[in-house]
Chain A
Amino acid sequence: MHETAQLDQDVPMDDLKDEDLYAALLHEMKNNLVLMAITMDQVPRTGAPDHDQPLNEARRLCQRVSERLMQALMIYKSNVGGLILNAMDAYSPEDFVAEMAIQARYLQTPLQVDTVVEEGVPSLWFFDRNMLELALVNAVHNSISYARSRVVIRARMDGDMLCISVEDDSDGYPAHILKAVAENKPLTSNGTGLGLRFANLIARAHTKNGTCGALSLRNDNGSVFEMRVP
């Protein structure tokens, strides 16, 4: 099949260990999901709720499953060879939060999506934009699922760190999740754990002079998901 040519290229199939085989399988499933999402994008919206709503829901689901698979793959990879951010470069935090908002609005949410860039945030900051985006987009999608009316994507400075947060007006995180993240313990119950582990991995891979980034969660009239990068 042609799609398999899209898979992890440089590994000859004969040399695959069991774990690699699972990784390749995850990869293939993810690629097929991408194609499914693209195919669904070609279905025009009619404006009729009984048509558009299930379509939007299906797209969201598709996105969520492919995100999960991606996270599983990345976590697997980081266990095998460590995660090294070769693509660290200077990016505009302002453009970054704007792009996160585009990611949120793309899912046709009825919620209000706002961006805030607080005073003191520099024009440029060094981070691995694509990786940080992968970690945060998951939080954005979570907020879209739970928020009542509003999602805010914010950039601010916290000491020497740039802090990007995703905030909503939901009921907030359950206590056991807050506790697990604060104590840096793995969550195993459901998919959320995977997303958090992934975000934690990405945050900590951002290092500068011995300091590394961090993930934190808190409740403040809703849930606040924060990634700090030095």
Chain B
Amino acid sequence: MTDQIDFKSKRALVIDDFPGMRTAFKAALASFGMSRVDLAASGDEALMRVKNTKYDIIISDYNLGDAKDGQQVLEEMRYRKLITLGTVYLMVTAESVYERVVAAAELAPDDYLIKPFNGEILRNRLEAILVKKQAFREVHKSFANGDLERALSECNVVIKTNPKCLVDAMRLKGEILIAMGDLQAAGELYSEISAMRAVPWSRLGLAKTLHLQRKEEEAEEVLSVVLENHPGLVAAYDLLADVQLAQNRSMDAQATLTRATQVSAKSARRQRRLGEVAYQNKDLKTAESAFKGAIEKGRYSVFANPNDVGSLARVYLEQDQPRAAGEVLIANAKQLAENDEGKLVNLVVKSALSSKNGNQREAQALVQEALRLRKAAGGRCSPDLAMDMVQVCVGLGMEQEAGQLLEEVASNAHDSTDLLNRAKDIYRDAGKESVAQTILQKATGKVAQLSKQGALLMQAGDLVQGADLLKKASEAAPRNPRVLMNAVWATLRLIAQHGNSGGRLGNAKRMLGDAAELAPDHPRLAELRSAMREVEKRLKAPELNVACVE
């Protein structure tokens, strides 16, 4: 179709667990001039290679034996930023699993090639992808640099000038608009595409936009139609669970995630979410098997999380199975030794076990060490794990340590009912319910009050006082992303009205950065980023600069 692609200059990586296929790919690629071809027999080998070498083209079989499949390899490469949007990723599958593989993909490869195929078709497909990458080069570059405005305008150029790339460009534009927080425009775009044809990804984009706009009922309606027609579409279940959780329907969310794991059990993140929701629903049996799944599927991948071990051990302990909890630690000892997070999990579970076995002195020493390690790591640890530590301390009569930690955790979680309820349960079981009341009141009262008053003042139009109170709330709860985001929102409104003085913009940026680090997937982030850009743009405009000087 084109002769502008210079294959000789390209470097390729072929991933296939079967030596015969690797050789065949190498021969096929050589037949059209590609001599710089590396081979990998497994996903892990491929990841090692990609870390050290920049490839233009990656061709992977979907099925790589028992280990990671080609889709997981793609997702891990993207997640770890080992490859860019400019890297070609071609997935090879058998026709019998093709439709299922497509439906389970959270991140689409550039194309799917069905086995058997011949060298000429391989060349044709690679050429088509490379031509397309060329057309989107500026869009990808700007997107990767975080220059979303530019990415959007470049995308519009493709839409206007390149009819063959129209739908791809619209798809990318939807992602850019969502990243920019322009949900209105994203929604209109997805509706437009869906009117052309209700392809699964356009309906999914529409549902996501609706969810981000908090139009949960409409989002659910779209998703139920999608799932009726494409029951294998895993991303639709994930999104539906988000929608249900946003409506506090955690039982429905659990059912949805259970169905999703039945369709595709491979994702550690999905299993973890199911575990979390089931734990919240006090369905310990389901939580147990889901956390087990999360540990197993995450092993040796970037999606491994030592907190899964902590969660599973917690579930065992709550079911009065200390032996099983101990075994989980042993089975995952290597992973837990790798970083502070893991070491902390190990110490906390061990201390809980010692305490349960009546070995008070050992439990005390272990939990003391855990408290020290947590402090040394800057107070970073999952709230549930911190609550485990509170539980051990309360059980051992270490009231002061328990109280301090609970206060710290609770002040950052005044709006997390589940967590606060667990604290109350812990103290009630120890016959000290009133102690918990006092601590929680002290820890959450201030933040809750500042937040409420600040919001009321903002509503009444007193932006100066309102933003000030919400900022104070964020200082009292520096690790609560929701409180931080409220403060950002208020500060941005304040700047828009009264200009940027006293380092307001800098403050807002820092708080938004903190919130994004704490809750990178929070739906509100995009909206705030968009508002931030808007404010910055207005500050830069010369006529407004004059008006903004206070």
Residues on A lying within 8 angstroms of B by beta carbon are 2-3, 5-6, 8-9, 23, 27, 30-31, 33-35, 37-38, 41-42, 63, 66, 70, 73-74, 77, 83-90, 92, 95, 98-99, 102-103, 105-106, 123-124, 126, 130-131, 133-134, 208
Contacts and interface: CB of A to CB of B under 8 A. Distances in A.
Nearest to A24: B96
Given A98-B124, A124-B166, 12 more contacts: A9-B63, A30-B116, A41-B27, A66-B116, A73-B95, A86-B100, A86-B232, A87-B112, A88-B200, A90-B166, A103-B118, A131-B98
Interface stretch (B16-24, B405-413, B530-538): B16-24
Nearest to B69: A9
Nearest to A2: B18
* 10 residue pairs, one from A and one from B, having the closest CB atoms: A90-B167, A123-B163, A86-B103, A34-B116, A126-B197, A38-B24, A87-B102, A86-B102, A86-B99, A92-B164
A33 B27 CA distance: 18
A95 B99 contact: no
13 contacts: A2-B19, A6-B18, A41-B27, A77-B96, A84-B231, A86-B99, A86-B232, A87-B99, A87-B112, A88-B199, A102-B121, A105-B120, A124-B166
Contacts of B166: 90, 123-124
A83 B231 CA distance: 11
B383 interface: no
Given A35-B20, A130-B114, A134-B114, A89 B97 contact: no
Contacts of A31: 94, 115
B1 interface: yes
Report the contact-size class of chain B (Cβ under 8 Å from the partner): 35 or more
Contacts of A70: 95
B230 A86 contact: yes
Contact of A123 (B103, B164, B200): B164
Contacts of B199: 88-90, 126
B232 A130 contact: no
Nearest to B20: A35
A34 B115 contact: yes
Main secondary structure of the interface of A (DSSP, over half): helix
B102 A5 contact: no
Contacts, number: 113
Main secondary structure of the interface of B (DSSP, over half): helix
B229 A98 contact: no
Contact of A84 (B66, B197, B229): B229
Contacts of A88: 197, 199-200
B345 interface: no
Interface in B65-112: 65-66, 94-100, 102-103, 112
B119 interface: yes
A8 B121 CA distance: 24
Given A86-B103, A95-B1, A124 B119 contact: no
Contacts of A105: 120
Contact of A130 (B66, B98, B118, B200): B98
B103 A102 contact: no
A188 B197 CA distance: 36
Point out which of A30, A87, A131 has the most chain B C-beta atoms below 10 A from its C-beta: A87
A226 to B, nearest CB: 21
Contacts of A89: 167, 199, 201
B164 A124 contact: yes
Interface in B187-207: 196-197, 199-201
Contacts of B229: 84
Contacts of A131: 98-99
A131 B124 CA distance: 17
A106 B97 contact: no
Contacts of B233: 86
Interface string B151-180: 000000000000110111000000000000
A106 B27 CA distance: 16
Given A35-B20, A90-B166, A134-B114, A103 B102 contact: no
Given A89-B167, A90-B167, A126-B196, A8 B230 contact: no
